Copies of this chain bind each other. A is one copy, B any other.
């Protein structure tokens, strides 16, 4: 496997970072994961906008812009023979780079930028989720709106899900409302209403989530950010999890709640987001 690291393509056997990299020691960085369909990155501009906003919030220099990122993605795909692959995940990781001991960011820094590509399979038809008991999302931190490297809580929640025989975990926020899943947004549908937890309630501003809301609104649905309560999950016609790699995946069951809705609404949301991805894959 070839990866892109700080400006050059290197074989993964040689692809290493300094042990003093603050991304490694302190999760002092951010990342994006995007889908590439037959050489075409999906929603690249949105991903780079979020990466840029995250880097600005953390005051980390050197986030690649959209053109640079497009060039990195293409170089990675060519180097790995993935240009014709129908589904490739590209992850761009951006850290503050190495620093001296302690939390305080160094006054100057040499950021680390890593990009990796790997083919991925088709999304699951549906998932079984739990509501995580081990952790909740924290809306009182600005980092809940950033895709930082601090994914420990999501790993804890996912491990809890796997331990309890489920595929995914829905995370509540500290007030007990629904926030998001471990690496996906939660979107609920009932009648012609489609809604998802507000960013202010601890949800990451998911890109697939925003695309789905816009597509649903164009389709005449009443789509918006609104509080999602646990009861809303039970009463919904459908609950789907959205992210850039999988699109929308219906939740077939939430352990401990009555089975989620028939999935008809879920099918509609899946189709809306799939069509949006297909449009993006055709764009010039």
Asked whether any CB of chain B lies closer than 8 Å to the CB of A91, the reply is yes
- Per the bound structure, the CA–CA distance linking A19 and B127 in Å amounts to 30
Q: A100 to nearest B CB, angstroms?
A: 8
Cross-interface CB contact of A141 among B28, B95, B101, B156, cutoff 8 Å = B156
Asked whether any CB of chain B lies closer than 8 Å to the CB of A185, the reply is no
Indicate whether A103 sits within 8 Å of B182 (C-beta atoms), given known contacts A19-B116, A27-B149: yes
For A154, what are the chain B residues with a Cβ–Cβ distance below 8 Å? 26, 103
Per assembly, the copies of the chain total: 2
Asked whether any CB of chain B lies closer than 8 Å to the CB of A5, the reply is yes
Q: A118 to nearest B CB, angstroms?
A: 5
Q: A11 to nearest B CB, angstroms?
A: 11
Indicate whether A153 sits within 8 Å of B143 (C-beta atoms), given known contacts A24-B17, A138-B138: yes
Interface of A (DSSP majority class)? mixed
Asked whether any CB of chain B lies closer than 8 Å to the CB of A174, the reply is yes
Indicate whether A103 sits within 8 Å of B183 (C-beta atoms), given known contacts A19-B5, A24-B23: yes
Asked whether any CB of chain B lies closer than 8 Å to the CB of A195, the reply is no
**B19:A103 contact, CB within 8 angstroms:** no
**A151:B15 contact, CB within 8 angstroms:** no
